[in-house]
Amino acid sequence: MIPHKEWIESALDHRETRPVPYNFAFSPPIRRMLEEHLGTDDVEEFLDFPIRSTAPATIKPLYADPAIYGDTIKDEFGVLWSTSPIDRGAPIGPCLPEPNLSRYRFPDPACAYRYEGLAEWCEKNRAHFTMIWVGDLWERATFMRGMEELLLDISLHPRFVEELLSGLTEYILRTMEELFRRCAFDCIAVSDDYGTQKELLLSPSDWRKLVKPCLSRIYALAKKNGRRVFHHSCGDNTKIVGDFIDIGLDILHPIQPEAMDIRSLKKRFGRDLSLCGGIPTQNLLPDGTPEIIRKEVRGILEEMGRDGGFIIEPGITLQADIPLANCLAMIEEATQRDLSGRP
């Protein structure tokens, strides 16, 4: 078996590997269901993920259990969130009611608590392809201001939008500098959703004016420090995929097949960009049969895995509506492992 880090690097260098590398992200209910079925308390280790990912600590964890945190929780940026036992909750209280940053202070990206244990985690996982999430940009701005208000601000208060995104960029860059100083790892990851399932949330020209220059700085700092760049962005980003490539993106995720033509993307951009994702999650996984799921996953692996540049993964974090049998069918086909003998 090819070593994990070499396996991922080969795919990213567009050398075909069989089997195709895989990755999964689990919501809390799916994680509990799988770990109970598989008889493990570490599903990533049990399934031998070639990619291992983590992030600096935050006041609001990604999945804030209301049994622990209450019905709401405020993050370090000052945004109030609802909590949920099954997903990440939702931003319900923006911290910027007006398009004005004069009284706002961004959190300190160098706070020591954010980096506790990260160097040890990197050392523990050094045989794997290690990835650290460094933050979000446009998406964070929508949490802080509110989606509708921020979209209006693009026309009514463009200078404010530029200042907000610039402040968030500086926060991410300083986070990266701390990580590079403290930790040995392979790849940074940015999470920033730009699309609906039919179109971009903002026009391509506005995205290129407001967001692209910020991303260019983030990507450039990663490359200067010898790291790959992974970018998560839900929705239809077809119109700006070429821009991602222009500024140095290595891996685009999650290429939702409900929103983007994944095979067309492979043909158009597959020589210059690696794609991670591709398994339909909205209808196939919750509503399909295990047999249909297996057939779909096999087809994706065969077509998308040609000439490398592909890591198979569901189009979004696996949610609580997926039956165990369907989840196992997908994992077995993607990993080429037989899990039927588990209790």
The confidence score (pLDDT) of residue 343 equals 42
Among residues 123, 83, 77, the alpha carbon closest in space to that of 96 is found at: 77
- Report the topology of domain 4-55+116-335: TIM Barrel (3.20.20)
Phi–psi pair at 340, nearest 5 degrees: -70, -25
Q: Is residue 281 predicted with pLDDT exceeding 50? A: yes
The confidence score (pLDDT) of residue 340 equals 75
Rounded Cα–Cα distance for residues 169 and 250 (Å): 19
176 and 115 Cβ atoms separated by less than 8 Å: no
The confidence score (pLDDT) of residue 341 equals 60
Give the pLDDT confidence of 32-64 residue by residue, as tens digits: 999 999 999 999 999 999 999 999 999 999 999
Query: Is the overall model pTM greater than 0.75, yes or no?
Result: yes
